[in-house]
Amino acid sequence: MLDSFILFIKNIILWPPVFYLLIAPGLVTILISLLLLIWAERKIAGRIQMRYGPLEISPKIGGAIQLVADLTRYMLQEIIIPRTVDTLPYLIAPIAGFIISLLPVAAIPISPIYFPSPMTNSIIVALALTTLPPILNILAAWASNNKFSLIGGARESFLIAAYELIVILSAIGAMVIYGTSDFTEAVSLQKNLWGIILNPISAIAFYVAVLMATGRFPFEIAEAEAEIVMGAYTEYSGLLYGLSMGISYTRMFVYNVIFSLLFLGGWQPFFTIGGHIFISYVLIPATVVILKALIVSLTMVFTRAIYGRLRIDQALGGAWKFWFLVAIVGLIWGSALTYLQQVI
Amino acid sequence: MEQINNVGGFSAKKVDDKTLILFFGPQHPSSGHMRIIVKLDGDIIVESDPDIGYVHRTMEKLSETKEWIKNSVLFERLAILDAGNVTQAYIIALEKLLNVEPPPRALYLRTILSEINRISSHLYGMGIFAIMIGSSTGYMWFFGDREIMVQLAERITGSRLTHTYHIPGGVRRDVSNAFLEELEKGLNYIERRLKDYEVMFVNNPIIRSRLENVGVLSRERAIELGVTGPNLRASGVSYDVRVEEPYGAYQFVDFEVPVYKEGDALARTFQRFDEIRQSISILRQLIKSIPEGPVLNEKYLKLFTKKMKDIWDAEKRVKFPSIFANLRPPAGKAYGRVEEGRGEIFFYLESSGEAKPYRVRVVTPSFRNSILLKYLPVGERLADLPAIYGSIDYFPPEADR
Amino acid sequence: MTDSSREFQGTSLLSEKTSEIIIDSPDQLLPLAKQLKDKGYDHVISLSAVDYPKSNELHLVIHISSYTKRDLQPKVFELRVKLKKSEPKVPSLINIWPSVEFQEREAYEMFGIVFEGHPDLRNILLDQEEFSGVHPLLKDFKIPEEDITLKLKEDVKSGTNK
C-alpha cells in the first residue's frame, strides 16, 4: 500500500510536465537560483562598492539566505491596494506575470531523452512564450492608475518592440545553422562546437537583447527608480511587489536557459553513469544547463555595479540602429555558414 | 494652456489634451524635499515649475529671536554637509559689525575647514547625482570616501557635520601637528581615488552619454539668471568669491579657478572634479605654511579667566568668555559672503545695537540656482530631469531656509 | 522734491564711489536699475526687505554684483527703496535682472511687497493658502507659540491627564 503510494507520488513528480514546471528548471530551481543570483548580485556589488552586502541574516554564510528574510517580510507585509486602481487587473497582473514568465519552461528540455512535452518546434514555442510577460507588465501599469506607472508601461512597450525582434532574429540565426527548431536536436548538434563559436554575432545580439528584455542595467529604463519610481510597480506593495520584482529575474533565468541551449551547448559535455538512468539522463544534464544559465545570469546582474541607466531614446536608438543590424548580420552569417557547408 | 483663472483663492489651469502634468516629488526617490511640477508632451518637458518650499525652517524670522552667537548654530543647519562655510559667512559679517579680526592661525584653520567641507560637499553632491542616473557604484564610492573628509572635519572641530567652529574673532579649537599629517594622508587618498572615479564614473560611456549636451546653460543665460558656484563656472564665467573678495587664508595661497565652456551636465561634473583637485592643492599649501599663534583675537583673550586659560593650555580649546553670550554689535549693517561648495552664500546683517539681530538676510547658492530647475529642463526628456537636478548639485534644505 | 530732480540726484550719486543708494520713491527704481545694469552690475545677489515699524516704512534692499566686469567697485552694491508700509508696491525688476524672479516671489510672500509686472507672483516657500495675506517677516507678525507644555501643566494641575 505504502510502496504503491510512494511509487505513485514518484511517478507524478517524475512525470515530465510536473517535473519541468515544478522542480527543474521550474519553480524550485528558479527559487533557488534567485536566492543565489540575488545574493551574488548583492555581494559582488557590495565588494565593488566598498561595503559588505547582506550580513545581518546568517552572518556565518555571508548573508546567503537574506532573500528568504526578504520574502518572509513581503509575505507578512500588508498589501495596500489604492482606492483608485482597477482592482482586478491590478491583482492579476503580477501574479499572472510571474506564472507566465515561468511558462516557456514547458517547451525547454534540459535532457536529451526526457522532455516536458514532445514537440519538434520547441525553440519557436519557447521564444513565443517568453514574449508574454511584458503584456502583463503593461496591464499592471494601466491598472495602477498612476502617471509614473503609465510612463513606465509606455517605456516598456517601446522596449518590447525593440528587443523582441532582436531576440527572435538572433535565435533564428542559430536555428539556421542547426537546421532545426527543436532544442534537443540543436543541442546534440553542438556536441563538438558550441553555437557561440559558430555564430558569435547572434549570441552577442541575443545577450544584449536579454539584458534589455529583463531590465538589467544599463537598460533598467522601464523601472528606473530615480526617474519614474519603479515604473509599472509604483503602486504595488507587499507580496505583489515581491512577485513583480521576481518576474524580471525569472525571465532572465528562463532566457538564459534558452541561451545556454542555443549557444552554450546545452547539456554538453554529456556523459552517463552506468546503471543510474535518472542521474545520467536527468540530474546531470539539468545541473549542467542550470549552471550555465546561472553563470550567464551572473554576468547580467553584474552590470548593475558598472553602468548607469540609459535614456529611453538612447536605448531604442541603440536597439534599432545597431543591435537590430547586428542580429541581421548574425542571421546572414548563419545562413552563409549553412550555405558554405552545403556547397563544400 | 497658459490661462490661469483665479476665483476666490481657487486657481484652475487649462491644459490641452496632449499635456501630462507630473508631480515630481515631494515623495519621489530623487526629488529631495521639494516638488517639481513638470508638464510633459510625450517624453519632452514643456514646462517645469519648481515648488521648493517643503522644508521651510523660518530661519530669517527665527534669527531675530536669538542672540547673535546662538544664530551661528541656527544657520549651520542651512546645509549641514557644508556647515563650516555657512557659519563662516555669518561670522565674517558679524565680525565686520563688531570690528574684530581673527589672528592668522585662525584664518588658516577656517580655510582648512572650508576646503575640507568643499571636498565633502562635492562628493556628496556627486553621490546623489550618481544614484539619480543609476550608477549605484558611484553613489557608494562618493559617499564612502566622503566619510574621510567628514572624519577629518571631526578631528578639527569635534563634530562631524554641525561644526560650530567659527566664533567672532577666531575659532573654537586649535589643531595639533598630528592632525595635519592625517590630513595629508586623507588628501593623498582622495587624490588617488579621483582617478578611479574618472574610470568608473565620468569616463564610463553610458554615464557620459547621459550627461553630454544635457541641460546646456549658456554663458549669457547663466549670468542673466544669476547662477552661482560651479554651475556658473562650468558655463564659462570665471567668478569665485575666494578670488573676488578673499577671506580667510585664500590670499596666502595660489590656486586656479577652473572654468569649462560647454555648460552641460558633463562640464558641471568635470568642474567639481577640478575643484576637488584645487582644494587638495590649497590644503597642501595651507598645511605647509600654517603659522603658530593664538586662534582667538587678543581682545577676547584678555577676558580669559584663570580657569579658561588652563583649559586652553591643556586642551587647546576656547572656553567662551561671558561677553559672547551678550554680544551687542553697534548699530549698523554688514554683509558677508563666502564661496560655499555649491556657490556663493550671502549674509546681510542689520544690527540695532541690541543683543539680537534686527534683520538677517541670507541668500544661499541653492536658492539662487533653484531658478535653473525652472529653465533648464524645458525641452529635455523626462529622464534628463534627474540628470539636470543632480548636475546642478541642488540641496533643497539649503534653498528653503 | 520732484521726480526729475530725484532722478538727477540718483545719477550724481552713481558717479561717485558710493556703495549704496537710498531712493524714496519706487518710480525711480527702474531708471536707476537700468543705469546700474549698464554700468556692469549684471546680477542680483539678494532682494529682500527690512521692516521699520517706527517710521512706518518698508525698505526694499537689493544687493547687486557683477560677473562680467570684475574690476567694478564696489563689488556688492546696495540699493534701497523706501516703501510705504500701507501700500508696498514697486515695479518688478525682472526685465532688467531676470535673476530676481524667485527673490521677488520670496519678498512678496514674506513682506507683502507687490512687484508690478512680475509674470508669476505667488508664494514660493510658504503655503499659498495658509499664508495668503500673512507676511511673516514683518515685525508685527507674532510667531504662534506652541502651548503643548503649558496645556500639559494645566492638565496635570486639574488632574485630567491621568
Domain extents in chain A: 83-343
The DSSP letter of residue A81 is -
Domain with B136 in it: 60-338+352-359
- Contact list, B144 vs chain A (CB under 8 Å): 49-51
- CB of C108 closer than 8 Å to CB of C115: yes
Residue B251 belongs to some domain of the structure: yes
**Average pLDDT, integer, range C93-105:** 87
Calculate the CA A152 to chain-centre distance. Answer: 20
**Average pLDDT, integer, range B230-245:** 88
Share in percent of chain C as helix, strand, coil (round to 5): 30, 25, 45
B291: three-class secondary structure by DSSP? coil
Helices B104-132 and B265-289, axial angle in degrees (round to 10): 150
In this structure, the dihedral spanned by the alpha carbons of residues B150, B151, B152 and B154, taken in order and rounded to 10 degrees, is 90
The Cα–Cα gap between A179 and C76 comes to 80
Task: Please determine, for residue B10, whether its predicted confidence score (pLDDT) is greater than 60.
Answer: no
The Cα–Cα gap between A138 and B400 comes to 38
The DSSP letter of residue C41 is -
pLDDT by residue (tens digit) across C35-54? 888 888 888 989 988 888 88
The Cα–Cα gap between B212 and B204 comes to 12
pLDDT band at B12 (very low <50, low <70, confident <90, very high): low
| CATH number of the domain to which B288 belongs | 1.10.645.10
What are the pLDDT tens digits along chain A (344 aa)? 788 888 888 888 777 777 777 777 777 888 888 888 888 888 888 888 888 888 888 888 878 888 888 888 888 888 888 888 888 999 888 889 888 888 888 888 887 777 777 788 888 888 888 888 888 888 988 888 888 888 888 888 888 888 888 999 898 888 888 888 888 888 888 888 887 888 888 899 999 999 988 888 888 888 888 888 888 888 888 888 888 888 888 888 889 989 988 888 888 777 777 777 777 777 788 888 888 888 998 888 888 888 888 888 888 988 899 999 999 998 998 888 888 888 77
Verify whether the Cβ–Cβ distance C99 to B224 is below 8 Å.
Answer: yes
Residue B100 belongs to some domain of the structure: yes
Verify whether the Cβ–Cβ distance C68 to B237 is below 8 Å.
Answer: yes
Residue of A nearest to B203 (CA): A307
Neighbouring C-alpha atoms within 13 Å toward the C-beta of C129: 4
From chain B residues 156-215, the ones with a CB under 8 A of any chain A CB are 200, 204, 206-207, 209-210
pLDDT by residue (tens digit) across B307-359? 888 888 887 788 887 788 888 888 888 888 899 888 899 999 988 888 888 98
| CATH number of the domain to which C146 belongs | 3.30.460.80
Residue of B nearest to A309 (CA): B134
ipTM: 0.84
- CB of B218 closer than 8 Å to CB of B263: yes
The Cα–Cα gap between A272 and A253 comes to 26
Tell me whether chains C and B touch (3+ CB pairs under 8 A): yes
Is B130 at the interface with chain A, CB within 8 A?
yes
Structure confidence at residue A329 (pLDDT): 92
Domain with C149 in it: 3-158
- CB of B260 closer than 8 Å to CB of B218: no
pLDDT by residue (tens digit) across C126-150? 888 878 778 888 888 877 776 666 5
Smallest CA–CA distance, residue B350 to chain C, in Å, is 9
- Contact list, B206 vs chain A (CB under 8 Å): 218, 307-310
Is C61 at the interface with chain B, CB within 8 A?
yes
Its sign, for the CA torsion C98, C104, C106, C107, is positive
CA distances, B222 to each of B369, C63, C103 (Å): 10, 18, 16
CA distances, C148 to each of A281, B75, C141, C155 (Å): 76, 26, 21, 10
pLDDT band at C23 (very low <50, low <70, confident <90, very high): confident
Report the range of poorest mean pLDDT among A2-16, B98-112, B225-239, C111-125: A2-16
Q: Which of A41, A307, A316 to mutate to test the interface with B (most CBs of B within 10 A)?
A: A307
Calculate the CA B186 to chain-centre distance. Answer: 21
pLDDT by residue (tens digit) across A320-337? 999 999 999 989 988 888
Is B127 at the interface with chain A, CB within 8 A?
no
Residue B41 belongs to some domain of the structure: no
Residue closest to A104 by CA, chosen among A220, A199, A210, A235: A210
Is B13 at the interface with chain C, CB within 8 A?
no
Verify whether the Cβ–Cβ distance B381 to A227 is below 8 Å.
Answer: no
In this structure, the dihedral spanned by the alpha carbons of residues C101, C107, C113 and C115, taken in order and rounded to 10 degrees, is 0
What DSSP line would sit under B1-48, residue for residue?
Answer: ---EEEETTEEEE---TTEEEEEE-SSSTTT-SSEEEEEEETTEEEEE
Pairs across A and B, CB distance < 8 A: 81
The Cα–Cα gap between B206 and B220 comes to 30
Is A306 at the interface with chain B, CB within 8 A?
yes
Residue B140 belongs to some domain of the structure: yes
Verify whether the Cβ–Cβ distance B138 to A308 is below 8 Å.
Answer: yes
Pairs across B and C, CB distance < 8 A: 83
Residue B288 belongs to some domain of the structure: yes
Residues near C21 by beta carbon (within 8 Å), at least 6 away in sequence = C10, C13, C14, C32, C78, C79, C80
Verify whether the Cβ–Cβ distance B56 to C42 is below 8 Å.
Answer: no
pLDDT by residue (tens digit) across B263-309? 888 999 999 999 999 999 999 998 888 888 888 888 887 888 888 88
Structure confidence at residue A326 (pLDDT): 92
Q: How many domains does chain C have?
A: 1
